[in-house]
């Protein structure tokens, strides 16, 4: 399956705050670039941001938050913010960006983006990325992605399709997958 990137508008999220407030009242700084947002929009999307704003942390009083580029790229943070506003052109994101978007959403507890990214990743397994998806989904406990990736890997095994990255999977999992490619013995002496 070819890796394609969706252009999407999410149905979940909040634009009510954007309609109520005239100006963005919070800045997310990634590297040297800034993203202006409405506090209420990101609070509606994220329990982590809600807790941060309600706790009186430095970010709340300064109305500014800094994110290291080593942690998340500007493009990923910008995509997450746009998805909180129910819109976002994700056509420029690659697989690594989607995995990073999931990590960002996991860190800041933005459930609707986590669900969206997981559903997207379920649709794009390939022999080149399936082991990466299995490893990622196991680390982040993305159970639907994990199961669909395992199913895809089993199919590759049954079809004798070469797969990249098997060395990142643990031996117990590989043994389970290997066993699943065999048909059970049926006792015909009944």
Task: With H, G, I as helix, E, B as strand and everything else as coil, classify residue 26.
Answer: strand
- Within 10 Å of residue 176's Cβ, how many Cβ atoms? 12
Token pair for 159: 């079809």
pLDDT at 22 over 80: no
pLDDT at 34: 95
- Considering the entire predicted model, what is its pTM? 0.83
pLDDT at 7: 42
Asked if residue 7 lies in contact with residue 116, where contact means CB atoms within 8 angstroms, the answer is no
pLDDT at 190: 62
Ordered by where they begin, the domains of the chain are: 1-124 (3.30.710.10), 125-182 (1.25.40)
User: What tens digit of pLDDT does each residue of 115-152 get?
Assistant: 999 999 999 999 999 999 999 999 999 999 999 999 99
């Amino acid at each position: 399956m070819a890796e394609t990137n969706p252009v999407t508008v999410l149905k979940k999220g909040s634009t009510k705050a954007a309609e109520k407030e005239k100006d963005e009242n919070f800045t997310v700084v990634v590297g040297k670039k800034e993203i202006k947002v409405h506090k209420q929009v990101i609070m509606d999307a994220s329990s982590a941001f809600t807790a941060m704003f309600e706790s009186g942390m430095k970010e709340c009083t300064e109305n500014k938050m800094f994110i290291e580029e080593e942690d998340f790229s500007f493009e990923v943070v910008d995509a997450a913010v746009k998805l909180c506003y129910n819109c976002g052109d994700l056509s420029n994101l690659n697989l690594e960006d989607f995995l990073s978007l999931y990590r960002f959403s996991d860190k800041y507890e933005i459930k609707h983006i986590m669900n969206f990214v997981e559903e997207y990743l379920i649709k794009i397994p390939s022999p080149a990325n399936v082991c990466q998806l299995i490893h990622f989904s196991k680390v982040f406990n993305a159970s639907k992605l994990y199961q669909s990736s395992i199913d895809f890997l089993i199919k590759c095994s049954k079809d004798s399709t070469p797969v990249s990255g098997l060395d990142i999977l643990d031996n117990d999992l590989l043994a389970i997958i290997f066993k699943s490619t065999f048909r059970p013995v049926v006792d015909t002496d009944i």
